[in-house]
Amino acid sequence: MYILKTLIAHDLKEHLKSKFMQAVFIFAVVIIYASLLFSALSPEQEPRVLANFGLAATELVGVIAVLFGLSSAVIKDIESKTIYLILSRPVKRWQYITAKYIGLVLSVWVMVFLMGLVLETVLLIKGGGIDLSILRILVSTCLKISVLGALALLFSLISTSVLSAIIISGIFYTLGHFIAEIKFITKKLAITAKILTLPLKYIIPNMAIFNLNDILNADNGNFAGWNVLIGYTLVYSAVCVVIGVFLFKKREF
Amino acid sequence: MKVFLFLVLLVLFTFFQYKTSKVETAYPAVHSFGDSVMRDAGYLSLGLRRLGADISFVELLQYYGTPELETMRISAKGKHVTKEDIEMSEYSLYGIAPKVYSAIEGGNYPQILSRARYILSLDPYFKYAAVFSAGVLAFNLNRGMEAIELLEFAKKYSPYYKDYDLYIAAIGYSKAKNPEKAAQILDEAIKNPQTPAIVKNVTAFLHKKLGNYRRAYEIYLDIYQNSKDPKYVDRAEKQLTEMKKLLKPTP
C-alpha cells in the first residue's frame, strides 16, 4: 500500500507541476474574456450563458487532459525506458498501472475544481451569488472523466499506439452521450440487428447520466442518484483497470 | 480467488449498466438535425446541448438585432425607415404605430420561428428563449399565430409551466383586439422574475395606452431597476420621465 501511495503522490505532483497549471491559467483568461463578450451579446441571460460556457470548457479541458494523459502514460514510459527503472524496483505491475490511473485522474480532478473556482469567481464578479449546483456539476464531471480515463488507459494497453487509444476512447465518449438516440434507433431496427447491437448497449459507458447540468435544469430530469453515479464510476473504472493490469502482466519487457 | 473477484466485478458491471440504461435521459432524443449537421452532432456527442442552445440564442439575438432595417426602404412608398419608425414598430399591435416591419421588404425576420424551434430542440427547457422569441413574434412582428405555434411546441416539453398558457391567452386576446384582458394576463405572467424585458415593455405599453399610468410606471420602474439590457433600460428611463408628467395631478 505504501508503494502505491508513493507512486500516486509522485504522479500527482508531477502532473500538477507541469502543463496542467498552464491549462488552468489559459482557461481562466479565456473564461474572463468570454464573460466580457457574452455580457455584451446576451445581457439578460448572462449568468446562464457564462455558467454553461464555463462548465463546458471545464469538462472539455478535463476530457482532453485525461485522454492525452492516460492514453500516453504507459506508452511514454515504455518509449523513454523509464518503465525498466520502475519495474526493476519492488513495484508490482498492478501497482504501477493503478498508480498511473489514480495519479492522473486525481490531478485532473484538482484542475477541474480550480477551473470551477475561476468560474465561480467570475460569476461573483458579474453579480451572481455562490451557486452550489456548480459544485455538484463539477463532481459529476470528475466522475465522468474518471470513467473516460479508465477507458483511455485500457485502450492504450490494447492498442500500443497513443493516437488509436485516443480515437477509440473518444468514440466511446461520444457514443456515451447518444444513449437516448441509440435507444431510439434500436427500437426501429429489425430483430437480428437489435440482437447484434445489444452488447454495445452493455459496453458503451452511459455518459448521459453524468450530465448534471442538463438534469438539474430539466423539468423532469431523472437524476440517477449519487450512489448510482459513484458506484457506476467505481465499477466501470475497476473493470477497465483490472483488464488493463491483466494485459500489462502479459507483456514482456 | 482472483477469478471469482473478477466475476463479481463483471456481475456488478452488468447490474450498473442495466440500471443506468433504465434511467431516462434529461433531454429527449433529437430526431432531426438543423442546418448544420456537424455542429449539432458536436453538441450532442459532447453532451453540450445547453451550450449549443445558448450559442444559437445569441445568434438569434444578433439576427434580430441586425442593423439592416435602418437602411431599408418601405417598399410601397420608397420612404426611408427612420430609427423612430423601428422603435415605434414595437407597439404596432393595435394599429397604434405604423406596421413598419411587415411593410419592409425582408425586414420581418422570417427565420425567428425556425431559429427558436431549433434552440428548443437542443434545450427544450430554455424557457427564456421560448418566451422571448414568442414575444418578438407576437408583439413586435405581429405574427401571433407563429408565436402560439412556438409556445405550443415549448409546452410539449414543459406542460406544467403555466407561463406558456398565460402568453398563449394574452396573444389570443390581443389578436381579438381586447387589450384590457391581454394586459391583465400579461400582468400575471411578468410576476416571474425571468420574464424577458421585451414582454414587460409590451405590458407597460398596454397599460399606458389603456390609461393605467400607475401600473405602467411600476413596470417601467421594474425594467429600469432590474433589466440588464441597456436598450430597455434607456427606453424605460425615457418612459418613466413621461409617466411622471402624466401622473402629476392637474391643478
- Nearest-CA residue of chain B relative to A180? B29
CA–CA gap between residue B231 and residue A40 (Å, rounded):
11
CA-closest candidate to residue A99, choices A68, A64, A74: A74
Q: In a mutagenesis test of the B interface, which of A235, A237, A240, A245 is the best target, namely the one with the most B β-carbons within 10 Å?
A: A235
State the average pLDDT over residues A222-247: 92
pLDDT score of B71 more than 80: no
Average pLDDT over all residues of chain A:
86
State the average pLDDT over residues A188-205: 83
A10 or B80, which is more confident: A10
Q: Which helix H or strand E contains A105, and what residues bound it?
A: helix A93-125
Compare CB distances from B16 to A174, A215, A232 and report the shortest one's residue.
A232
Compare CB distances from A235 to B9, B24, B46 and report the shortest one's residue.
B9
The helices-and-strands tally (H runs, E runs) of chain A is 11, 0
A47-56, A132-141, A203-212, B32-41: least confidently modelled range: B32-41
pLDDT score of B246 more than 70: yes
Q: Do A49 and B27 touch (CB under 8 A)?
A: no
- Residues B160-174 have pLDDT tens digits of 888 898 889 988 888
Give me the pLDDT at residue B93, please. 41
State the average pLDDT over residues B5-15: 89
Angle separating helix axes B144-157 and B127-135, nearest 10 degrees: 170
Strand-strand pairing, B79-80 and B73-74? antiparallel
Q: In a mutagenesis test of the A interface, which of B228, B231, B235 is the best target, namely the one with the most A β-carbons within 10 Å?
A: B228
Using pLDDT thresholds of 50, 70 and 90, give the confidence band for residue A172.
very high
Give me the pLDDT at residue B81, please. 53
Spell out where B25-179 has E strands. Answer: 73-74, 79-80
Using pLDDT thresholds of 50, 70 and 90, give the confidence band for residue B70.
very low
State the average pLDDT over residues B19-29: 79
pLDDT score of B126 more than 80: yes
Q: What percentage of chain B carries pLDDT values higher than 70? A: 80
Its sign, for the CA torsion B209, B212, B217, B222, is negative
Q: Do B51 and A56 touch (CB under 8 A)?
A: yes
State the average pLDDT over residues B13-21: 86
State the average pLDDT over residues A176-193: 81
Q: Which residue has the cell 437516448?
A: A180
Q: Do B13 and A236 touch (CB under 8 A)?
A: yes
Which three cell numbers mark A218?
Answer: 430539466
Which three cell numbers mark A2?
Answer: 505504501
Using pLDDT thresholds of 50, 70 and 90, give the confidence band for residue B65.
confident
Using pLDDT thresholds of 50, 70 and 90, give the confidence band for residue B20.
confident
Compare CB distances from B26 to A53, A202, A215 and report the shortest one's residue.
A215
- Amino acid A116 reads G
Using pLDDT thresholds of 50, 70 and 90, give the confidence band for residue B73.
very low
CA–CA gap between residue A141 and residue A173 (Å, rounded):
13
In Å, how far is A38's CA from the nearest CA of chain B?
8
pLDDT score of A150 more than 70: yes
- Residues A58-84 have pLDDT tens digits of 898 899 889 988 998 888 888 888 888
CA-closest candidate to residue B209, choices B228, B186, B188: B186
pLDDT score of A227 more than 80: yes
pLDDT score of B99 more than 50: no
Give me the pLDDT at residue B152, please. 92
A150 or A223, which is more confident: A150
- Nearest-CA residue of chain B relative to A212? B26
Q: In a mutagenesis test of the A interface, which of B17, B64, B126, B201 is the best target, namely the one with the most A β-carbons within 10 Å?
A: B17
DSSP state of B136: I
Helix (H, G, I), strand (E, B) or coil at B188: helix
Give me the pLDDT at residue B33, please. 65
- Nearest-CA residue of chain B relative to A126? B228
Q: Do A42 and B57 touch (CB under 8 A)?
A: yes
Compare CB distances from A218 to B26, B227, B229 and report the shortest one's residue.
B26
Q: Do A52 and B50 touch (CB under 8 A)?
A: yes
pLDDT score of B129 more than 80: yes
Give me the pLDDT at residue B67, please. 53
- Residues A121-149 have pLDDT tens digits of 888 888 777 778 899 999 999 999 999 99
State the average pLDDT over residues B175-180: 81
pLDDT score of B3 more than 80: yes
- Nearest-CA residue of chain B relative to A175? B45
Q: Do B30 and A181 touch (CB under 8 A)?
A: yes
- State the Cα torsion B178-B183-B184-B185 to the nearest 10°: 90
A210 or B251, which is more confident: A210
Give me the pLDDT at residue A101, please. 94
Query: What is the ipTM for the molecules in this complex?
Result: 0.84
Give me the pLDDT at residue A246, please. 92
Alpha helices in B158-196 (DSSP H): 162-175, 179-189
Compare CB distances from A201 to B21, B50, B125 and report the shortest one's residue.
B21
Q: Which residue has the cell 501497482?
A: A95
CA-closest candidate to residue B30, choices B119, B106, B110, B93: B119
Q: Do A180 and B28 touch (CB under 8 A)?
A: yes
Return the number of CB contacts < 8 Å for A and B: 130
Compare CB distances from B51 to A52, A177, A235 and report the shortest one's residue.
A52
